Structures are given as C-alpha cells and as structure tokens.
Structure 1
Amino acid sequence: MIDRIPEPTETEIETGRLLFAGTCDFFHGAQTTDQLPDAGRPEVAFAGRSNVGKSSLINGLTSRSRLARASSEPGRTKQLNFFNLADRLTLVDMPGYGFAKAAKAVKEDWQRTMFAYLRGRTTLSRVVLLLDARIEIKASDTEVMDLFDRAAVVFQVVLTKCDAIGPTALARKQREVEDLCGKHAAAYPDVIATSSETGLGMERLRAELARLALPASP
C-alpha cells in the first residue's frame, strides 16, 4: 500500500478554486508530435479509456459545460487538444485509448505517438489517468501505466463516475487501485475519487493540480 497524501488545506482548496475559475480556452490541436505547440507553461495531460468521462471531468474542473467535447463515436478523437488555463497551466486532453473497434495498427500508432509526446515533452508535469470506478481495470489500463513508467512521466489516478457505486464498493475499488499504483514507479501516491455529477473530489483535484501551475501574477 502506498502512503496517502494529506488532505488539502482550506488555503490550497481556495488556490485551486481561483485557478480553475480563471479563463480557459482551447488554443491548439496536434495529431502528430511535429505539430505540438512550443513548450511554455507547465502541462497536465488527461488520459483514459474511451467513455471514461474525461471530457466531463475537464468540464467539471473548469465549471464549463462545453470546453472539452466528447466524441459520439468512441476512439474517434485522435488529436491532443491544448487549453490555456489562466496563463498559468496548460491542460492537455489526450485521445482515448482502448476503443474496441480500432484496428491493431491504429492502436499501435496511438501508443507510438503518445509515448513520443510523453517522453519528449519537457513541460509535462503530470498525467491524470482516469479509471471508471464502476468497471474492472482493463489490460489497456495497465499497459498505459507501463507506458508511463517507461516514459518516466508521473501519473496520478483519478476514479470517475464514483456517484454510481456505493461507499463500500468505492472504498474497495480505491484500495485495489492504490495497490496497483504501488507497483508502478511513476505513479503518484494519491488516488482521487471523483464525480462530475455531484462534484465529489473536484476541490481536492483542483488543489492538487494548482500546485503545478505558475505563480499567480501579483
């Protein structure tokens, strides 16, 4: 079992709220690594299986309804989408993985592109890896964790859709994921349970990510 990170203080929660209440706008899309924008602000990338609730989480964090848009066809979005958060942090919406209908060559191409981004992006501070609390951990999830280990990129697991299961099942799922993270060198020792519907965990996640942002202007 990995050690838990202390709960954020009221000051840290307010810092996170202020950051994510700031302007947040899409500014770049990249389908290949040679299309990436110039490195600048610290970046936090969001990764997860198709339909894990990634767009809903990003929208919930920023209190916007349509900042990140989910594709109607799982696995259809193939580009990295970059958002400027208050000129202090860049949020990166990564393409979903694990889409069943995709050909093997498409999946391998996704992995090559994502690995190149993860390994070579000097401003990438953390990857937020989303796992659906309602379903079992898939092979593609552990494969992506291995990918983060090889790329030496810190990743933090966030459980989504936690309002859909009871407290006992959620506690069991959180222990399972914490045990799994303990086996990965690149895993950040804090698994956060969230719900885009109820707001569960949003304050805590905002506070955590605010630690990675540039300082606020005086």
Structure 2
Amino acid sequence: MQDAVETDFVEQGRRLFAGPCDFIFASAKASDLPPAGPPEIAFAGRSNVGKSSLLNALTGRKTLARVSHTPGRTQQLNFFALGGAPGAERVRLVDMPGYGYAAVGKEKVANWSQSMRDYLKGRASLARVFVLIDGRRGVKPLDEEMFDLLDQSAVSYQIALTKHDELKAAERAAVVAATAQTLAKRPAAFPEVIFTSSHSGEGIGALRGAIARLLSERNA
C-alpha cells in the first residue's frame, strides 16, 4: 500500500512539473520580496553543486535557471510560478544564491547571506528548503552552517544529493548513510535523503514526488 501511495505522489509530481513554469520575480533584499502567496519550495546549495541544472531537470526545461561555468552567478532570490499562470500558480520555486564561492567579494557574499537570512525569517509561505549537496564531496562545514541557519529559523529542509551518475553504487550507499547520520540530530531536517542526477535523470521523479507529497500534506 505504501509503495502505491509513493507511486501516486511521483505521478502527481510528474503532472505538476509538466505544467507551465515562469520566472516571476527577483529579489536582492528583504524589502524586495514578493507578497506571500502559494507555498514556496526553495533550493539552496554551494555555488558549484549543480543547482541550476537540477532546477532545469526538474521542470524539463533547458534554460529555466541559467547554467554557468562560473559559480556564483545567482546573486538574488529568483521566484518561478509552477503549475499555473503567474497569480494562479500552485507553487513557487525559489532559486537561492549559492554559498561558499571564494572568488566573490566579501561584501557581496555578506549581502547574499543577509538576503537569505531575511527570506528565511518568518516566511509563512515557505514550505521547505531543499539543500543540495554534491554526492562526490558529502556534507562540508559550509553546508553545516546552512543547516544551523535553517534549524535556527525553524524552516523544514531536506537534502538532495547531486552527481549520482558520477559515483559507483557502493559509494552512493555510503554517502547516503553518512548524510542521514549527519541529519539525525537536526531538529528541522526531514530524514529522507534523495540522490539525484541532472544528467541521467536519477532521482528527479522522487524529488518531484516529495514536493507533491508536501503540497498534499499542506492542503490536507
């Protein structure tokens, strides 16, 4: 029965992400945030983790989020309307600035960090943050700092590992186990770890299904 339920959410997620998805807003500081509306699903991660590629894979589009060979290009919170025309969308996707790119000036990094903190504080429409972790590297200190911020903000978050296609099967199992162990004592962390690949499509259906399940629970 449980497998049937999960399969249903995967199908719901497929249909949701097959619908329209449009860029609607960019915010560089708290005063620029759009009014709260439908549930928001945010994506965070290190600057070179493959966040833009994952967003494109999720939505089945090649250019929804700009993919650059220069990490750190996302310099603001970018909002996308998913599942309906802007104003009637079912959910908003939020592409957050990447963190941890040393070549970006300290002042700019501080501004990005503050904009993320402002967004996370008291944003009632924020349903969950998916923190992307490079599966080849595992959880690093900068990722732990993001977990700390999310825990302190009481924002639900879940880990999506990337680069599934670049690891062997035994390595994948080990990194999933290590990541789950890291999250075990984190109060705001959702325990399920999803391993994805923007290249092969591995885990994309599961990630869509997790979002569909979350929306269903919020609407229950």
Q: State TM-score, norm by structure 2.
A: 0.90
Task: Give the Å deviation of 1:112.
Answer: 2.0
Separation in structure 2 between the aligned mates of residue 98 and residue 7 of structure 1, nearest angstrom: 40
Matched, 1:165 2:162: no
Counting only pairs closer than 5 Å after superposition, residues 141-152 of structure 1 correspond to structure 2 as 141-152=143-154
Question: What is the letter of the counterpart of residue 61 of structure 1?
Answer: L
Q: Give 1:13's aligned residue.
A: 10
Count of residue correspondences: 211
Counting only pairs closer than 5 Å after superposition, residues 1-218 of structure 1 correspond to structure 2 as 9-86=6-83, 87-213=89-215
User: Are the counterparts in 1 of residues 138 and 179 from structure 2 also a CA contact under 8 Å?
Assistant: no
Question: What is the letter of the counterpart of residue 179 of structure 1?
Answer: Q
Task: Give the Å deviation of 1:104.
Answer: 3.5
SS in 2 for 1:171: helix
Cα deviation, 1:97-139, whole Å, max 9, x if unaligned, reads 0001134343333222211101121100000000000114221
SS in 1 for 2:215: coil
Change in 2 beyond 3 A, CA 1:6/1:152: farther
Separation in structure 1 between the aligned mates of residue 146 and residue 77 of structure 2, nearest angstrom: 16
Question: What is the letter of the counterpart of residue 25 of structure 1?
Answer: D
User: Are the counterparts in 1 of residues 131 and 159 from structure 2 also a CA contact under 8 Å?
Assistant: yes
Cα deviation, 1:69-93, whole Å, max 9, x if unaligned, reads 1234222321100000011010000
User: Are the counterparts in 2 of residues 23 and 85 from structure 1 also a CA contact under 8 Å?
Assistant: yes
In structure 2, list runs of 5 or more residues that go unmatched. Answer: 84-88
Provide the alpha-carbon RMSD of the alignment. Answer: 1.8
Name which of structure 1's ranges 84-93 and 64-73 shifts more when overlaid on structure 2: 64-73
Task: Give the Å deviation of 1:213.
Answer: 3.3
Cα deviation, 1:125-173, whole Å, max 9, x if unaligned, reads 0000000001142211100100001111011000001110001001000
Name which of structure 1's ranges 6-15 and 68-77 shifts more when overlaid on structure 2: 6-15
Change in 2 beyond 3 A, CA 1:57/1:7: farther
SS in 2 for 1:50: coil
Change in 2 beyond 3 A, CA 1:6/1:143: farther
Q: Percent of counterpart pairs with the same letter?
A: 47
User: Are the counterparts in 2 of residues 29 and 80 from structure 1 also a CA contact under 8 Å?
Assistant: yes
SS in 1 for 2:202: coil
Separation in structure 2 between the aligned mates of residue 130 and residue 117 of structure 1, nearest angstrom: 18
SS in 1 for 2:66: coil
SS in 1 for 2:209: helix
Change in 2 beyond 3 A, CA 1:127/1:155: same
Q: Return the structure number with greater helix share.
A: 2
Task: Give the Å deviation of 1:11.
Answer: 1.6
The list of structure 1 runs, each at least 4 consecutive aligned residues, that deviate by more than 6 angstroms after superposition, is none
Q: State TM-score, norm by structure 1.
A: 0.91
Task: Give the Å deviation of 1:214.
Answer: 7.1
